[in-house]
Amino acid sequence: MSRESLQNTACTALEMGKAWMNPISSTLSLVVESEGYEQYRQAVDSGDGVILLAPHLSNWEIFGFYACDEVAATFMYQPPRRAAMDRLLKEVRSRSGVALAPTNRRGVAQLLSALQRGEMVGVLPDQVPADSSGEFAPFFGEPAFTMTLISKLAQRTGARIFCGFAQRLPRGRGFRAIFREADPAIASAELLESVTALNRTVEQCVELAPSQYQWEYKRFRRRPDNSEYY
């Protein structure tokens, strides 16, 4: 599994150029199968607002383009430190008309406004949040500092929540886009219950393709005793 994980990490890195630079139609054609897409689109088309969770699983760039095709969408992203890289990300990710919201108060306001308009917003749910924006909850049996943003957006808007990813198929056959409705407990008013359900939702997707998860991302670097490891 370690070998497969490293192979998939290399695949994701090598695929980024193709996903970013090729025409949108070419990127979309890489998705040759789908699961749960109809339910996701029905929720989007209802106009009640949808929160889409896109964890660091397989190629999240390809999944994002597919999920946002012909959909009014706003995706939250972490602006890189280098201005040139930030400009590149904004250029390539907004090609299909997707609005980008930075990980700050202004970005949160963008997400809330989009949901209130009945649109879709996308979030990477397994990013390590800022100190004031997270709670510890179990993730594969280990305490992980987990964002509370999704819990709060769900409480304020009543939006439906889906989780998904583009599963890499063997022998270069392309990708299967998988969409699953999230654990309903994410909408709980009890914050710990909500963030635990968020992590459980991500776990269920990772279990479909464990070697395609980006285990190299330091998901557990924050510890409950306020220490960090690197």
Give CA–CA dist 181/43, Å, rounded.
10
The mean pLDDT value for 42-59 works out to 95
Residue type, 75: F
Residue with tokens 């008013």: 189
Strands 73-77 and 120-123: parallel
Residue with tokens 């909500």: 194
* Angle, vertex CA 57, rays to CA 183 and CA 104, nearest 5: 75
pTM above 0.85? yes
**What does the pLDDT look like over 81-100, one tens digit per residue?**
888 877 877 777 777 778 88
**What does the pLDDT look like over 186-217, one tens digit per residue?**
999 999 999 999 999 999 999 999 999 999 88
Residue 38 has what pLDDT? 97
Residue type, 42: Q
The mean pLDDT value for 156-177 works out to 95
